Structure 1
Amino acid sequence: MLDLAVEAHDLARARTGKEIPGVRVEKEEHPYALVTTVQVETEEAERLMQKPKGTYITIESSALLENNRQIHQELIKLLGEKLSLLLKDLPETASALIVGLGNWHATPDALGPRTVDYTLVTRHLFHYAPQELRGGLREVSALAPGVLGTTGIETAEIIRGVVEKIKPDVVITIDALAARSVARIATSIQLADTGISPGSGIGNDRAGINRETMGVPVIAVGVPTVVHAAFIAQDAMERLWQELNQHPRLREVYKYLHPELVQRVIDQLLAPFGGRLMVTPKEIDTLVQNTARILAGGLAVALHPGMNPEEAYLYL
């Protein structure tokens, strides 16, 4: 299953050779980003897309890779606006629990905990500070529960226990995703109102974190930090086929490169890793840190009515 809805939609269209019934796609162009909204509306679309019914908003921007404060402020503003759309049914007094999913000891999987590090938390102010210090803020708390391998506890169990105790009106999860294309690493932010299944992108499904399991709305925010090695190999072979097919003398070779043969070779190469070898850039530590700051800024803008993007960036 693909983590990104835009990739799942493209794959479903390629597989069926037609538009997917029950799926609506809208695109918006912004100065530094392209925003694609995919709405999965029917059970048939859910089956074909292999994504739960709901709204998926993807912000694509190569500027996420740049260390440009002005552009990052614009992206924080855009992210805040799109997050606010998913939170529009909540009152201004609603409280939120931000959950940073992932393993802080593994850099490609540390996006969630790093975002929690930068998050503006205010729940303690609502309990201990004077009223004048709460203006324009919502009650926000944050949690980085770790992973099953280091805690021995299912992540969903930890979150559910906290939710039952502090009773937030919404849970917002932050997680690293797996992409189909290397071009999407640290350049795409996906927002979804469907919740999340931690580890699903790398074939390691855990208990779902969604409205059904938590009892409150769950908004999922994710950024791709890894790509399956198999996808890179497949893309390389597809480009090779295109090159071979353009040269008359090499077309005979092209005829013998059947997809089944190529897939068998890829499977043999990845067999020592169980077919699940993941690839990430060598500068992933910097990318995760910068992206975490932008996500935390977007959360601050969306959750705190009195916060603007410039102020949010200062808190980072």
Structure 2
Amino acid sequence: MLQIRTDLAIETREMYREKNNVEISGVEVNVEEEKEYKITRVKILNKDGEEKLGKKMGSYITIEAAGLKQADQDLKDEISQVLAKELKTLINTNKHTKSLIVGLGNWNVTPDALGPRVIGKVFVTRHFFKAYNKSEDETMTDVSAIAPGVMGITGIETGEIIKGIVEKTKPDIVVAIDALASRKMERVSTTIQISDTGINPGAGVGNNRKSLNKEYLGVPVYAIGVPTVVDAATMVNDTIDLIVKEMKTHTEKGGEFYDLLGEMSQQDKHQLISEVLMPYMGNVMVTPKEIDTVIDDISLVIANGLNISLHHGIDLKDVNRYVN
């Protein structure tokens, strides 16, 4: 069976609609479009929607901003505020909330380093609350953070590390940040997904580990993800579709050949492309050449969004004081 790799709920919904030409029962969708960004809120309401989308019941909020690939400071500030607003709506924290921020991923591999980079920019405060024996503050809340690395570095399941920290520090919520995979190159590094259903570390590159969710950790787990890679076979498949569409419009010769390609099922095309690529590349994930800069920029956007949403006395004019 064709398995197009994506971690985005918006894309699984799109693929279902393309295949079945109907909206999914048990799924509620709301779209908000502004000049610089678009927000799509997908809410899976029941088991039927969960089964058809292959995603757990809950809310999936997608912020798309094409300019994030080459963002100026104004756009980064704007998306940080948009992210903070959506996080506040989803998480509903108060001045007593204790949060644990988890930066998933491998800091030695740039496309997978989003989580650790965010952790380096988050304003952590738990040590202040401990030092002064406080349970609340007029400007900040109790926030701790950890970048646990990956099992290849630590030899320990990431879920086991986080579970141990949660049992010891007893946060009210966990927010996990991770790199994801998209099925469209245009969404790589331009899209932020927020969900309240937890996360599977390593899912973006097909290396699923133990799930981080409320059932396992005992506290609500919110996830923030950004697609930084796309499967090579999927990208080639989409490229062929675009070429066929363009060539059928501009050429008279070879029309039968382009019609044949256009009529091939997605499964057949994907299988053909995978077989052609296998001797040369195997199972390859592709990332943009400017990924270093993109990860730096988008990690700042996410960290600022978290700082604004979790600390009730901090706003946009303050956030850049707390990051490198």
Scaled by the length of structure 1, the TM-score of the pair is: 0.94
Counterpart among 298, 303, 316 of residue 309 in structure 1: 316
The residue aligned with 1:215 is 218
The residue aligned with 1:192 is 195
Moved more, 301-310 or 270-279: 270-279
Relative to structure 1, the CA distance from residue 149 to residue 76 in structure 2 (aligned partners, 3 Å threshold; closer, same or farther) is same
Equivalent residues in 2 for 1:198-277, closer than 5 Å: 198-246=201-249, 247-257=251-261, 258-259=264-265, 262-272=269-279, 275-277=282-284
Residue 66 (structure 1) shift: 2.8
Counterpart among 28, 38, 50 of residue 24 in structure 1: 28
Is the 8 Å Cα contact of residues 125 and 134 (structure 1) preserved in structure 2?
Answer: no
Is the 8 Å Cα contact of residues 74 and 309 (structure 1) preserved in structure 2?
Answer: no
Q: Which consecutive unaligned segments of at least 5 residues does structure 1 have?
A: none
Cα distance in structure 1, aligned partners of 2:214 and 2:166 = 11
Residue 71 (structure 1) shift: 2.1
Relative to structure 1, the CA distance from residue 153 to residue 286 in structure 2 (aligned partners, 3 Å threshold; closer, same or farther) is same
The residue aligned with 2:288 is 281
Moved more, 273-282 or 45-54: 273-282
Residue 240 (structure 1) shift: 2.3
Moved more, 10-19 or 256-265: 256-265
Q: 2:306 aligns to what SS in structure 1?
A: helix
Residue 68 (structure 1) shift: 1.6
Is the 8 Å Cα contact of residues 102 and 176 (structure 1) preserved in structure 2?
Answer: yes
Is the 8 Å Cα contact of residues 31 and 39 (structure 2) preserved in structure 1?
Answer: yes
Equivalent residues in 2 for 1:39-78, closer than 5 Å: 39-78=43-82
Q: 1:189 aligns to what SS in structure 2?
A: strand
Counterpart among 112, 116, 123 of residue 115 in structure 2: 112
Residue 271 (structure 1) shift: 2.0
* 1:297 matches 2:304: yes
Is the 8 Å Cα contact of residues 97 and 170 (structure 1) preserved in structure 2?
Answer: yes
One-letter code aligned to 2:123: L
The residue aligned with 1:10 is 14
Moved more, 26-35 or 252-261: 252-261
The residue aligned with 2:177 is 174
Residue 235 (structure 1) shift: 0.7
One-letter code aligned to 2:318: E
Is the 8 Å Cα contact of residues 96 and 136 (structure 2) preserved in structure 1?
Answer: no
Cα distance in structure 1, aligned partners of 2:213 and 2:75 = 32
Q: Which consecutive unaligned segments of at least 5 residues does structure 2 have?
A: none
Please, what is the CA RMSD of the aligned residues?
1.9
Cα deviations by residue, 1:262-316 (Å, 9 ceiling, x for unpaired): 3343112332488531001111011001111110000000000000012112322
Residue 213 (structure 1) shift: 0.6
Overall identity of the aligned pairs, in %: 42
Cα deviations by residue, 1:132-170 (Å, 9 ceiling, x for unpaired): 994310100000000011111110000000000000000
One-letter code aligned to 2:16: A
One-letter code aligned to 1:115: V
Q: 1:118 aligns to what SS in structure 2?
A: coil
Count of matched residue pairs: 315
Relative to structure 1, the CA distance from residue 264 to residue 29 in structure 2 (aligned partners, 3 Å threshold; closer, same or farther) is closer
Is the 8 Å Cα contact of residues 73 and 313 (structure 1) preserved in structure 2?
Answer: no
Cα distance in structure 1, aligned partners of 2:303 and 2:125 = 14
Residue 17 (structure 1) shift: 1.5
Cα distance in structure 2, aligned partners of 1:146 and 1:156 = 11
One-letter code aligned to 2:308: V
One-letter code aligned to 1:270: L
Is the 8 Å Cα contact of residues 234 and 270 (structure 2) preserved in structure 1?
Answer: no
Q: 1:249 aligns to what SS in structure 2?
A: coil
Q: 2:278 aligns to what SS in structure 1?
A: helix
The residue aligned with 1:165 is 168
The residue aligned with 2:158 is 155
